[in-house]
Structure 1
Amino acid sequence: MGIDPNFDKNRETAGEENGVTVWGPVEPPETLGIHGTHVAVDYDICVADGACLENCPVDVFTWVDTPDHPESETKVEPTREDQCIDCMLCVDICPVDAIDVDPGRAGRT
């Protein structure tokens, strides 16, 4: 099962990390929530294969450490989600459907 496309309606914000909104619940290290709004990554299902980071034409993503998370100890964070051009390549290439891009959510938190 992939990221909830309605997470911004179904979850509450749990804070911010590196300038990116985090949507809860968050209970480290197992539950890390969804990071980002316009470009959102579900950290709880992300396996950090890096395809989104390597293929993004505008370098939206950066690596962050997520020690002891059961899926992977690093994740890709949409640190520069404001640079996203809505090409949807990251959505298409993610092997576990952990990413959602919604132009309608741009600028919202």
Structure 2
Amino acid sequence: MAIDPSFDENREVVDSHKGHDVWGPVDEPEKLGIHGTHVAVDFDVCIEDSACVEDCPVDVFEWVDTPGHPESERKADPANEIQCIDCMLCVDVCPVDAIDVDSSR
């Protein structure tokens, strides 16, 4: 299941992590929400395939450990989303469509 492209209208900010918003619901370790706003990663969909981390030309993503999560125990966190240049490579390479980049957010 892909990230909801309207998550900012359908979810609430429930926390912050490394300077970006976390959109709920969050119920660790099974539900981790969506991290980021401009570059948003659905932690509940991310499978740690690493394509986004490897392909991002401006190093938006950092690995974060998520022990006990059913999809993967590590997620690509948009810790540096402010550096995003809207190239959309991360969106294009994500095999599970866990990433949304929206320049209007």
TM over 0.5: yes
Structure 1 unaligned spans of 5+: none
Aligned to 1:10: 10
* Structure 2: gaps (5+ residues): none
Normalising by structure 2, report the TM-score: 0.99
Partner of 2:98: 98
Q: 2:51 matched to which residue of 1?
A: 51
Which residue does 2:86 correspond to in 1? 86
The answer on 1:35 being equivalent to 2:35 is yes
Q: Separation in 1 of the partners of 2:65 and 2:20? A: 15
> Secondary structure of the equivalent of 2:14?
strand
Deviation at 1:87, TM superposition (A): 0.4
Partner of 2:22: 22
Runs of 4+ in 1 over 2 A off after TM superposition: none
Q: Aligned pairs, how many?
A: 105
Letter in 1 for 2:48: A
1:19 & 1:27 partners in 2: Cα distance?
A: 20
Letter in 1 for 2:19: G
**1:67 aligned to 2:75?**
no
| 1:28 counterpart letter in structure 2 | E
What displacement does 1:38 show? 0.0
1:18 CA displacement: 1.5
SS at match of 2:8: helix
Aligned-pair RMSD on alpha carbons?
0.5
TM-score calculated relative to the size of structure 1 = 0.95
What is the letter of the counterpart of residue 75 of structure 1?
K
- Counterpart Cα distance in 2 of 1:60 and 1:2: 20
